[in-house]
Amino acid sequence: MPHALRRRWRRVTASTAAAALACGALLVLGPAPAAAQVRLGSGSYTTELPPGASGPSDVTGAPVTPKVTADFDQPVATNDWWSSLIFQRYPDNPYGENLYAHPLSFKARAGGLEVGYPDTPAIVADGLKYEYSHSPDLVLGVQGLNAPAARVAGYGDWTVTADLSDSSRTLRATIGQGLPFVYADVSGGPVRVEFTAQPTVWRRSGSAVGVTVNGHHYALFAPSRTSWSESGRVFTAHVGGSGHASVALLPDPGVFDTYARYAHSFVTDSRLSYDYDPGSATLTSTYRVTTEAREGSARGTLLALYPHHWKETTTALTDLSYTSPRGPMRVVEGDRFTTELTTHGILPSLPTVDSADHQRMRTLIDAELNAADPWKGATDTYWTGKALGRLAQLVPIADSIGYTSGRDALLDLLKGRMEDWLTAEGPGDDAQFYYDERWDTLIGFPASFGANTELNDHDFHYGYFVTAAATIARYDRAWIGEDRWGPMVETVLRDANNPDRGDSRFPWLRSFSPYAGHGWASGHAGFASGNNQESSSEAMHFAASTALLGSLLGDEELRDLGVYLHTTQASAMSRYWQNSDGDAFPSGYSHDVVGMVWSDGGDHRIWWDGTPEELYGINYLPITAGSLYLGHDVDHAAAVHRSLVARLGRQPQTWHDIHWAHQALSDPDAALAAFEAQWRSYEPESGSSKAHTYQWLSTLAEFGTVTTAVTADTPHYAVFDDGDRRTYVAFNATNRPIAVTFSDGTTLTAAPGQLATVHGDGGSGPDPDPDPGGGSGTIGDGVLYLDGGALSTAAPSFEAGVEIPAAGGANHDGTPHNPVVFEIDGVSARYTGQSTRFAFPVDSGASVANAVQARVSYDLDGDGVFDRVETYHYFATNDLPGWETYTHGHGLKSSSGALGDLVDGTVRLELWSALGRQASLVRTGAPEGQQAAVLTVPFRE
């Protein structure tokens, strides 16, 4: 049954305490608090700004209030791509900074809204930053408009409506991420579009005009029976006393009619929904817009998808595309699209192996417990949080080696500091939370890094508090009860990322931008480059701690929020911070990682003058069992570590422990050896400890690296592979024993509140069927290898490859040409509900412009007709000898039909060259420890 803390709240302040009783049993009132306090269980927060403290402010220190219209009726949102519209950081700029929605960029001004398409990167700051800067192509406004400020009239999950009004004229423009349209409602005068250069008009179609300016193609749309007048660079349309217009960015003039269909289908809302299915280890996310036809009957629009969308989507893509700072954007048509990601598990801690020196661990734990100041002088939310996280990581280690008194002493430290922060005793309290009802936010004081004045980094700071709470709850469920500290812990959590749209105290997902796939650190986004995100790993830490706390509370809403944030952000982080797919960073940018992602690009620098070790490490720390995502692609993790060593010309010498922990995700033996050589002398990173680093390294040295080839039917698991055996780990957050089933058939039983571990056979992929067949009749758990012209459950035992004939210089994108075919027939198997997945090592040698393409077809009943056909986007190989991996992550080019159970059915794989004049090679058999081509189909016998 869901935990009681899921109930919806109304905003509660001291002046509305009576109304708060309507919220139900969640609000537990104790003795009458001081007038400025709101009591929640054993905890409380204040609604009075602490003496001498500052809340949201401009750069001069003057308090600011949200810039919203009189009819704005939503919780105040911050930390988004458009936040400079609502948060005026600079007294002399009431319009906000550049807004990067992708593919379009914007900037508000008195006369209207600048619109541009930044499609050309610049490499700046001595090659450290790449940026696609805003440069306006046009200004959309109302004739005579002279707005004194820009305000927010409303927002969706990734769209916003900006209001520019003066005493007699109004422009309300709805813009959004992935939206190639600007939808505008106007009053008080004609719509006015002024181009920044003389446009070339190439289409006049009634109330629509197609133009090219600065090399970019736009369409202007006005209501029917309205025409555009042209005077130099200015176009106007008389739409009556009030009316509408839209502007569309076109990839090519030839698609004018496609965009015209949606010119009057105005987007009025954007909303994400997600569904986590533990049984299939699948996260399904649906991105949907609501549209309103201002004339005609069209519904939907066109949406441009970032790479982390279109490479994982189950929705058909068009051939339309745009450039963006995140790589190519692909377009879908309609009102929604869906992505599917595999969830790879979130553990609260790693097991401790018997081979580790448990006495050393105990000694190192005692060093933390017996320190003169276990908190290392921390007073504010961030540094207190890091100290909470450091001590929390030691609790399960102490428990695992039977050091019960040490475990309990650590828990007492955590409880004491947490209870201090979660209680607002009065004006003199030096650690408390304050609720600002103007900004709908909870601020911890003492604050740091602009968490109070700029509303920065709340998920970074508060994630440590959630980790501490989850650690306590793991050993003392009563402490987190709704009559004690649970309500305050959840209030802190929900300020950073609130999953409940009905909770008006906080916006939905303040610290996470659902379309971007990651968070934005700045509350105000007051930069010419838009917003920024530095420590992606601290955002991931918040996600992991939220999933764990939700499971411990029995609260599926919080659990699923954490799983959604963790899984989605992992997909985006590797691509946009580490360029794992190779298409995010522009050509000419020499770095393989960035320290910060900006709205307009990426920067190989961080906010302080740090070392290269700190630049890499700020996107690793804090190292917890929720950090295993950094090793999901072992080869990539190894390459990133090598790049740091190459840049330094040596092994890391700052934040040793962070980099040993990261290195262990690809080479645990080397990482442990480095630790053993220096463990007595090195200085731990402030959020880490020697005991935790030793446990992490010794465990991975015995278990091996994490593998994503196997999933489990629980949110809290991991599987490791050392080449000879697999180790399966699962955590039971419930109060009853649970059985966990892994996708390769392994099972384990976990006791309440405990980690459970079993060992099994190893390998580079999922275990083959114990009684493998040949090319016909046997499908096992759906993992198939390429064997001659057959698909087989037997992994090849020798190195082999198959040649894919050249395309002959023609374009065969989407159409098989001389395909190499692999097939298995006579198969009866249950459909699992998952999707097709594959990983094919491909090499085209030193030849250029080659691309291999795959099609997977399913004849469910063996009647010779394929009921489901999936054609994937081709994989363009580089011109360097060596294996690259073509995966399903490149996305579907097209699909038809639906899947169901196989009854004497057939599975067929076709591989061909979509482009190129040279043959390519696909590796079907690999040396031990390397990857052979594998096709995983969504069926199990």
- The catalytic site residues sit at 457, 534, 538
Burial state string for 377-396 with b = 16 or more CB within 10 A and e = fewer than 16: ebebbbbbbbbbbbbbbbbb
Q: Counting beta carbons within 10 angstroms of the beta carbon of residue 411, is it exposed (0 to 12), middle (13 to 18) or buried (19 or more)?
A: buried
CA 384, 386, 392, 393: dihedral to nearest 10 degrees?
Answer: -170
Instruction: Give 801's strand partners.
Output: 923
Q: Angle, nearest 10°, between helix axes 486-496 and 458-475?
A: 150
Which CA distances in Å does 76 have to 58, 272, 434, 530? 17, 18, 16, 19
Alpha-carbon 710 to chain mean position = 22
Beta strands at 747-750 and 755-761: parallel, antiparallel or unpaired:
unpaired
| 930/928 Cα distance (integer angstroms) | 6
For residues 68, 69, 74, 79, the Cα torsion angle rounded to the nearest 10 degrees is -20
- The residue among 346, 281, 387 whose CA lies nearest residue 624 is 346
Q: Are 401 and 481 in contact (CB under 8 A)?
A: no
For the residues of 54-116, what is the DSSP string, one character each? --SB-TTS-B----B-TT--SPPP-SSTTGGGTS--STT-TT-S-EE-SS-EEEEETTEEEEE
Q: Which long-range contacts (CB under 8 A, 24 or more apart) does 650-653 make?
A: 652/613, 652/617, 653/613
User: How far is the CA of 542 from the CAs of 79, 180, 266, 519, 531, in angstroms?
Assistant: 16, 32, 36, 11, 20
User: Which residues are CB-neighbours of 658 under 8 A, at least 6 positions away?
Assistant: 613, 617, 620, 621, 623, 685, 688
Q: Report in angstroms the alpha-carbon separations of 465 from 53, 429, 488, 525, 734.
A: 21, 18, 11, 25, 21
Question: For 698-711, b where at least 16 C-beta lie within 10 A, e where not — what string?
Answer: bbbbbbbbbbbbbb
Enumerate the H helices of 381-531 as residue ranges.
381-400, 404-421, 458-475, 486-496
Tokens standing for 550? 């939700």
Eight-state DSSP code of residue 712? B
Answer left, alpha or beta for residue 811, where phi above 0 means left and psi between -120 and 50 means alpha: beta
Single-letter amino acid, residue 33:
P
Query: What residues pair up with 760 in beta bridges, in sequence order?
Result: 726
Query: H/E element holding 361?
Result: helix 358-369
**Sign (positive or negative) of CA dihedral 74, 78, 81, 87:** positive
Name the DSSP letter for residue 399: H
Distance of CA 546 to the CA centre of its chain: 15
Amino acid, res. 933: A
Beta bridge partners of 192: 141, 236
* 746: amino acid identity, one letter: T
Q: Do the Cβ atoms of 495 and 438 come closer than 8 Å?
A: no
The two beta strands, 112-116 and 122-124, are: unpaired
| Greatest CA separation for the chain | 84
